[in-house]
Amino acid sequence: MNGDLETAKDATKLRRIAIEPVTRVEGHGKVTILLDDQHRVHQVRLHIVEFRGFERFIQGRPYWEVPVMVQRLCGICPVSHHLAASKALDKVVGVQQVPRTAELVRRLMHYGQILQSHALHFYHLSSPDLLFGFGSDPGPRNVVGVLAAYPDIAKQGVLLRKFGQEVIRITAGKRVHGTGSIPGGVNKSVSPEDREELLRPLPEILEWAQAGVRLVAALHQQHQDLYDHFGTVPSSLLSLVAKDGSLDLYDGVLRAKDHQGAIIFDQVEPQDYLTRLQEEVRSWSYMKFPFIESLGPSEGWYKVGPLARVQNCDRIGTPLAEAARQELLAAAPGHLVHAPLAYHWARMIELLHSAEVIQELLAEPELGGSELVGKGPRGGGGVGIIEAPRGTLIHHYQVDDQDLVTLCNLIVSTTHNNQAMNEAIRQVARQYLDGHEPTEGLLNHIEVAIRAFDPCLSCATHALGQMPLVVELQDPSGQVVARLSRGVEPIG
C-alpha cells in the first residue's frame, strides 16, 4: 500500500511534474508527481479535471428521456449507460422482467458494446506499449506504429471493433448514441437480414478474438516478472455475477471478494447497493472514491472491470472463454491475480466471451420477436446495474408522480477503480521513478499503469453539486482575507 504517497508530508521545495493530458485513455486526466532534489517521490495523484453534471441536470426531465440523455456521458460505452438507465427505469414502468425478445436484443447490444470497447482499448490504445515496450521510442508508440510493424494485429483490432459497432447499429439504430432500449423493453427486434449480416463475419471474429487472447497470454509468459509485479497492489474485487455464480455482464447480483479471494458479500440485489457501497470525495479530484461499507474508506477500496470479473465469477458459460480463463487462473495458482497488466489478458478473454455470446444470441429465434415492451404497476424509482466494459456501472433514479426525475445517482466503472488506479501509479512511481531522473519513457510507465484499467475519465467525473470546493479571496498582496469551503477534508 502506498497511502503515504497520496499527500506529501511537506510539499515545500518539491519539484512538480505533471503528465497532462494522460494519453491514450478516454477523457481527460492528469497525473502530478512531487519529487525532491534526489528524485525521490513524495506524492502521486491521478486527477480528474473535467467537469460534467449529468446527475443534476437530469433532474426535472421526463424519465423516458433518461436512457437516451445519460448515454451522452460517453462516446465509447454509451450503450452501457443506455442499458443501465433502461434497467433502472424498467422498475418505474413496473417491469421486473422485460419480454424475452427485449432481453435478447438488449444483451446483443451490450455484448456488441463490450466487444467493440475492449477491441478499441487493447488494439488502439494499449497494444503500442505492450508490443514496443513501455519506454520505447515514443514516435511510433501509437496505433499507426502498430499498423506499420504488426499490420495483421492492427487490422484485426480495427475489424473487431467495426463488428461490435455493427451489432450496436443493428440493435440500437446508430453506432453511437442510438435509441434502441426504452424503459420496459426495446423499440425494435432483429430482422432475419440483420441477423444474417452479423452471422457472416462471425467465424473470423471468433478466430481473431482467440488470437488476441493468445497474444496477451504470450506477452505475460515472455515477461512474467514484469507483468506480475508492475504496479501490483492487492485489493478487494467487485462485480455482478449471475445468480448461479457464472459470468454475466448484463444482469445479476453483486459479489465482492477480499484480496485473498474470500467472499465479502454475495447475492446482493442491485437495489440494495447502498447497503454495501459508499462514496467519499477528496479535495483534489472531481472523481468520487467509493468503498465497501463494511471495510471503511481506507481499507474498503476495490477493483472492478475485466480482471475483477473473471476472478469473481465461478465460471464463464462459453467454452472458449472459460478455457482461456482457466489458463489465466493457472498462472497464479492458489491466489488471485492483482497485477494491473493482467487486466489486458482478462479483457481479451471477455472479448472472446462476447463474440461467443453474440453467436449464441444470433441463434435465438425470439431475437426477431414482436413483443418488445412489458407493462406493470407504476413504481417510484429503480436501480440498474450492468457490467460496462470498464466495470460495474450503477444507475439509480427516483421519479415523481408527474413522471419527472427527482434523483439521479451514477456510480461509474472508472469511479470504482479510482483508488485502485491511484494505488497502481504510486506503486509504479515507487518501483520505477524513485531516485531516477524522470524521462519520457519512465513517465510513460505511469500512463501504462493507468491505461491497464482502461479508464473512461469523462464518464467518471459527473459529481456536480457534490465535489469539494474552496474559494479564497485575496488582497493585492496575496493575503487571504476570506475563505469559503465545502466538503473539503483537511490536507496534509
Q: Can you give the binding site for another protein, defined by CB under 8 A? A: 60-62, 64-65, 67-69, 72, 93, 172-174, 177-180, 182, 187-188, 373, 402-404
Fill in the DSSP letter of residue 445: H
Least distance in Å: CB of 377 to another protein? 14
Tell me phi and psi for residue 46, to 5 degrees: -95, 115
Least distance in Å: CB of 160 to another protein? 24
Q: Is 469 exposed, middle or buried (0-12, 13-18, 19+ CB in 10 A)?
A: exposed
Q: What angle do CA 194, 199, 202 make, to 5 degrees?
A: 140
Q: Output 93 or 425, the one with its CB closest to another protein.
A: 93
Look at the alpha carbons of 6, 9, 11, 13 in this order and tell me if their dihedral is positive or negative.
negative
Least distance in Å: CB of 266 to another protein? 36
Q: Output 171 or 417, the one with its CB closest to another protein.
A: 171
Least distance in Å: CB of 109 to another protein? 12
Q: Output 130 or 170, the one with its CB closest to another protein.
A: 170
Provide the greatest CA pair distance for the chain. 75
Q: Output 377 or 492, the one with its CB closest to another protein.
A: 377
Residue 5 and residue 42 in contact, taking contact as beta carbons nearer than 8 Å:
yes
Q: Of 430, 233, 250, 434, whose CA–CA distance to 341 is shortest? A: 233
Least distance in Å: CB of 113 to another protein? 17
Residues near 490 by beta carbon (within 8 Å), at least 6 away in sequence: none
> What CA–CA distance (Å, rounded) separates 214 from 128?
17
Q: Of 143, 154, 418, 481, whose CA–CA distance to 280 is shortest? A: 418
Tell me phi and psi for residue 374, to 5 degrees: -95, 170
Q: Output 58 or 233, the one with its CB closest to another protein.
A: 58
Least distance in Å: CB of 98 to another protein? 14
> Residue 182 corresponds to which cell in the numbers above?
426504452
Residues near 157 by beta carbon (within 8 Å), at least 6 away in sequence: 119, 120, 122, 123, 124, 127, 143, 146
Q: Output 81 or 303, the one with its CB closest to another protein.
A: 81
Residue 320 and residue 206 in contact, taking contact as beta carbons nearer than 8 Å:
yes
> What CA–CA distance (Å, rounded) separates 150 from 127?
10
Q: Output 185 or 305, the one with its CB closest to another protein.
A: 185
Q: Output 225 or 401, the one with its CB closest to another protein.
A: 401
Residue written as grid cell 451489432: 167
> Residue 143 corresponds to which cell in the numbers above?
496505433
Least distance in Å: CB of 400 to another protein? 8
* First-residue to last-residue Cα distance in the chain: 18
Least distance in Å: CB of 391 to another protein? 25
Q: Output 401 or 475, the one with its CB closest to another protein.
A: 401
> What CA–CA distance (Å, rounded) separates 486 from 466?
9
Q: What angle do CA 193, 198, 201 make, to 5 degrees?
A: 130
Q: Output 323 or 373, the one with its CB closest to another protein.
A: 373
Q: Output 82 or 445, the one with its CB closest to another protein.
A: 82
Least distance in Å: CB of 3 to another protein? 41
Least distance in Å: CB of 25 to another protein? 24
> Residue 341 corresponds to which cell in the numbers above?
497488466
Q: Output 116 or 181, the one with its CB closest to another protein.
A: 181
Is the peptide bond preceding residue 21 cis, with omega within 30 degrees of 0? yes
DSSP string across 417-444: THHHHHHHHHHHIIIIITTS---HHHHH
Tell me phi and psi for residue 465, to 5 degrees: 90, -10
Least distance in Å: CB of 443 to another protein? 37
Helix 440-452 to helix 418-428 angle (10° resolution) is 150
Least distance in Å: CB of 56 to another protein? 15
Q: Output 86 or 126, the one with its CB closest to another protein.
A: 86
Least distance in Å: CB of 41 to another protein? 43
Give a three-class secondary structure readout of 61-85: CEHHHHHHHHHHHCCCCHHHHHHHH
